[in-house]
Amino acid sequence: MASCFLTRPVMIKSKLSPDQHITGISYGFAGMPPASPTNIAACYRNDLLTTYQGVPVILLSSTTLGSAQKYAKTGCKDTCGNVRIPFPFGIGANCSVNEWYNIDCKSSTPYLSSLHQLEVLGVGLENRTVTVKMQKFSNCSQKTKSVDLGSSPFLYSISHNTFVYEGYCGNAVMMDNNGSVLTGCSTTCINDTTTTGIIDTSNCFGINCCQTKIPQYLKSYSMKLTRLERQMSGDGACGSAYLLDKESDPEGSHLLSQSTRDGTSYIPTSLQWILSYHDHEQVSCSGRWISDVMDLGNGTLITSGICYTYGLSTMEGNPYLIDGYGT
């Protein structure tokens, strides 16, 4: 397929359709010569990808820019309840890139059907994340394992999660599968045992709550919680620890964790989703593919494909569909 490169949006008049103006949206590299009606008119081809000096760009007509954006494959739903489900995820048969990305929509609530039926709270296209509900860890002095992401194309995100421990006079550590400590933090033993059940990560610095970064992408991990002063009055509870999605608590706003009838508490956790080279065959990238290499910290590197659309990131739509920015 031919392509054209524009360093800035321009309006040209197509020789093929004289009554229609064409808007060029660039996604290439800085430093290229500026595009003009003269040097791109010959590249126009059916409002799709065309060429200019061998570098790809998307050309969208003015009517295309005004049309509805597309998030799901043709014939597939793009929402479940209040949650948008964009491709490569999909609701129903033949709507996702593979079975790992299948979404079950039950009573207007989305679930990852191939991953322990985890409830989905949101999907991010630009950051390639899916936010799910995860259970808090609260077993005192016992090693407790996380949900194992195993052979799935998902990782616990290093950049979109923060490790949080909330509890009075205790500590929590995160360990890898070999029992090596990855990170942890402790809270002070001041005479204040008041807990609210509300997380404020802008004020989580050691009094009833502490937080820290996680050092790497993870497929699984374990937690161990310990109370530092068992002789003090109280029920001996060790608090709780978890990975908290940073975007779920913007600018230090309060986040109320959700609990079920049996008292189990859940919080939002961010998973990084991965597209393999094989998946590229099932995805019509509206830009160009680039690679992102993620380190699991044990010598294992995982490569994921990213559909790169520089210049279109501010537009609504789905780069993982060739017609995701309007049809």
User: What's the CA gap between 42 and 226, in Å, rounded?
Assistant: 70
How do residues 140-155 score in pLDDT, each as one tens digit?
Answer: 767 788 999 999 999 9
Instruction: Tell me the residue type at 285.
Output: C
Q: Coil, strand, or helix at residue 218?
A: strand
Radius of gyration of the chain (CA): 24
pLDDT for 24 equals 40
Burial class (CB in 10 A: 0-12, 13-18, 19+), 250: exposed
Mean pLDDT of 69-88: 94
More confident: 195 or 294:
294
| Cα–chain center distance at 229 | 39
Q: Coil, strand, or helix at residue 293?
A: strand
| Residue 291 near residue 4 (C-beta atoms within 8 A) | no
Q: Coil, strand, or helix at residue 98?
A: coil
pLDDT for 141 equals 65
Average pLDDT of the chain to the nearest whole number: 75
* DSSP character at residue 8: S
pLDDT for 192 equals 55
Mean pLDDT of 24-38: 40
Of the pLDDT bands very low, low, confident and very high (cuts 50, 70, 90), residue 107 is: very high
User: What's the CA gap between 170 and 193, in Å, rounded?
Assistant: 12
Of the pLDDT bands very low, low, confident and very high (cuts 50, 70, 90), residue 15 is: very low
How do the domains of the chain map onto residue ranges? 129-190+202-229+237-273
Closest CA to 87 of 32, 77, 301: 77
Of the pLDDT bands very low, low, confident and very high (cuts 50, 70, 90), residue 260 is: low
Q: Which CATH architecture has domain 129-190+202-229+237-273?
A: Sandwich (2.60)
Closest CA to 60 of 316, 261, 291: 316
Percent of the chain whose predicted confidence (pLDDT) is above 70: 65
User: What's the CA gap between 162 and 316, in Å, rounded?
Assistant: 28
User: What's the CA gap between 9 and 30, in Å, rounded?
Assistant: 13
Inter-CA distances, 87 with 51, 73, 310, Å: 26, 7, 19
Closest CA to 221 of 143, 302, 116: 143
User: What's the CA gap between 327 and 320, in Å, rounded?
Assistant: 14
